[in-house]
Structure 1
Amino acid sequence: MKVSLPGYLHPQGRRAGTVRSTREGAVLRVELNDPANGNAVTDAMLNGLLEILAVPDPEVRVLVLSGAGDDFCLGGDRTEFTDWLDEDPTGRGIRISVDKARRVCEAISGNHAVTIAAVHGRAIGAGLALALACDLRVGADTAVFRLPELALGLPTAWGGVLPRLIHEVGAARARELILTGRAFDATEAHELSVLQRVVSRDGLDEAVAAWTRPIVRRPEAALRVTKAVFNSYAAPTRLGDPSVLDAELMACVAAATRRT
């Protein structure tokens, strides 16, 4: 049975806003839905994601995150950053939005459901952060990843991406990817554990289904507790998690870069 979440997807598929979602039994599919702009993350998109994720449905066992069009997500919308700095040179608008980003990524990683990112095309900056917040990540063999913030005069401080990247790939590899800002393909992403599986673009749906089928059959309490245990074991390796400072770091550096 398909049901729609208010404001996002009509049962016949009518779109509203830049995020749409469908519920199919125990599976909730959430799609970044602004393909004309490469699914760039805007404040409106963050609001849409928060509306969906803030109060999890206890009947949902799997949450699948994907992107419409040619790319998963081309990162944050830098036009909004410029507009916010024009309105307030201290970066207040950036602080508000980046704090929302942290809450969105925490809602994904802390969700009681198993979260799956299905990545195709480019996953840049904030797009990579959203994918890394998921428990499982499958990518098309043509997927490309990059963290370009440093070249843009910004810190790598969005959605807790830095501590998550260090936790998943290791500090040395994370340092190299961030300092150089180079792109890396799906094969390397798999070697780095950014992706757990790589398939053809046409095989993404089946790869997600192959993970989903056994997960939805697991007893709800056991699944919820197992997810919580995984998160608790990950926590000690992230005691220095500075993501609570992301909003201040991004706003301060963006404002300082603007003045130079």
Structure 2
Amino acid sequence: MYEDFKTLLARREGPVVRIHFNNPDAGNAVDGTFLDEMTTVLDAVADDPGVRVVVLSGAGDDFCLGGDRREFADLAGRDPGGTGIRTLGVKARRVCDALATSHAVTIARLHGGVIGAGLGIALFCDLRVGADTSRYRLPELALGLPAVWGGALPRLLSEAGTARIRELILTGDTFDAEAAAAISVLQKVVPESELDAVVTGWIKPVVRRSPAALRVTKAALNAYAAGTRMADATLLESDLLAAVVAARHAERG
């Protein structure tokens, strides 16, 4: 299903599906509605073998400023036991898994702020290009939350390296595009005016590849980069997140 949603615009242009985060007044925040709509579009992609490339981009000044803090607070207030937070975590995992396992090559076109959950979503894309003015941050710990969301932590560790990611999570420091490229969070850094040219340059060769060879190659890359499912601690993330949010709510009375 490629249409206009509340938080997204989705368009199929030949073999390319473009998903444009379209809630700029909220910094394209990740909330339950956003995750449901992303799932709808990515499910449609999964059922559409003609799609070869998926491109993610954001409206307004920022790609995505992370999770919706008001929604977190509301869910914790209405359900201190954490059921709502747990459900949100499961939705996040579903979206990230769909991006990681898509038969299509996924591209993140990044500008402005790429924060928290926004960075997590981008990391599950195969290719990532950032504007030279873009900025990145992992603020969860500074907000009193564990850095567990959608299975992004092992992806971060695999892509960028344990020592540097440990520092960025513990300090919550903002880092720029050049620093992001140095740790492989980005594959390319260009002026914002050149982002579309880079995306187009990636799309052109991909759509000429054998669909079967591309699908198998992506599956192999994912398999070699990941641990076994039995040892995959990210399966516990929604429960861990819910437990911490419930504990924080209890601490605050």
1:41-87 CA-to-partner distances (Å, cap 9, x unmatched) read 01000000000112411111111011111100000001011111111
**Pick aligned residue for 2:54 from 59, 63, 67:** 63
1:190 aligns with 2:185: no
The CA deviation at 1:122 is: 0.4
1:137 and 1:238 map into 2 onto residues whose CA distance is 26
For 2:193, the equivalent position in structure 1 comes to 202
1:240 and 1:196 map into 2 onto residues whose CA distance is 29
Q: Secondary structure at 1:253's aligned position in 2?
A: helix
1:119 and 1:38 map into 2 onto residues whose CA distance is 13
1:219 and 1:39 map into 2 onto residues whose CA distance is 34
2:34 and 2:194 map into 1 onto residues whose CA distance is 27
1:254 and 1:58 map into 2 onto residues whose CA distance is 40
1:202 and 1:241 map into 2 onto residues whose CA distance is 40
The CA deviation at 1:222 is: 1.1
1:17 aligns with 2:6: yes
Q: Which moved more, 1:217-226 or 1:187-196?
A: 217-226
1:227 and 1:259 map into 2 onto residues whose CA distance is 44
1:42 aligns with 2:31: yes
Instruction: With the length of structure 2 as denominator, give the TM-score of the two structures.
Output: 0.95
2:55 and 2:110 map into 1 onto residues whose CA distance is 10
1:125-175 CA-to-partner distances (Å, cap 9, x unmatched) read 000000001011000001100001001110011111110100001111111
- Output aligned runs, 1:81-120, within 5 Å: 81-120=72-111
The CA deviation at 1:240 is: 4.3
Unaligned runs of 5+ in 1: 10-15
2:207 and 2:189 map into 1 onto residues whose CA distance is 22
1:150 aligns with 2:175: no
Q: Which moved more, 1:49-58 or 1:36-45?
A: 49-58
The CA deviation at 1:241 is: 3.1
Question: Which amino acid in the other structure matches residue 47 of structure 1?
Answer: D
1:257 and 1:73 map into 2 onto residues whose CA distance is 25
Q: May I ask how many residue pairs the two structures share in their alignment?
A: 249
Identity across the alignment (%): 57
The CA deviation at 1:236 is: 3.6
Question: Which amino acid in the other structure matches residue 78 of structure 1?
Answer: R
C-alpha contact (below 8 Å) 1:145/1:183 kept by paired residues: yes
Question: Which amino acid in the other structure matches residue 76 of structure 2?
Answer: L
1:170-216 CA-to-partner distances (Å, cap 9, x unmatched) read 11111111001100000000000000000111111110000000000
Instruction: With the length of structure 1 as denominator, give the TM-score of the two structures.
Output: 0.93
Sort the Cα spacing of 1:94 and 1:236 in 2 relative to 1 into closer, same or farther, 3 A. Answer: closer
Sort the Cα spacing of 1:241 and 1:183 in 2 relative to 1 into closer, same or farther, 3 A. Answer: farther
C-alpha contact (below 8 Å) 1:108/1:115 kept by paired residues: yes
Question: Which amino acid in the other structure matches residue 249 of structure 2?
Answer: R
2:78 and 2:43 map into 1 onto residues whose CA distance is 29
1:127 aligns with 2:118: yes
1:177 and 1:215 map into 2 onto residues whose CA distance is 33
After superposition, the CA RMSD in angstroms is 1.3
For 1:13, the equivalent position in structure 2 comes to none
1:249 aligns with 2:249: no
Question: Which amino acid in the other structure matches residue 244 of structure 1?
Answer: L
Q: Secondary structure at 2:109's aligned position in 1?
A: strand
Q: Secondary structure at 2:226's aligned position in 1?
A: helix
C-alpha contact (below 8 Å) 2:77/2:249 kept by paired residues: no
Sort the Cα spacing of 1:64 and 1:143 in 2 relative to 1 into closer, same or farther, 3 A. Answer: same
1:154 and 1:54 map into 2 onto residues whose CA distance is 29
The CA deviation at 1:258 is: 1.7
C-alpha contact (below 8 Å) 2:115/2:138 kept by paired residues: yes
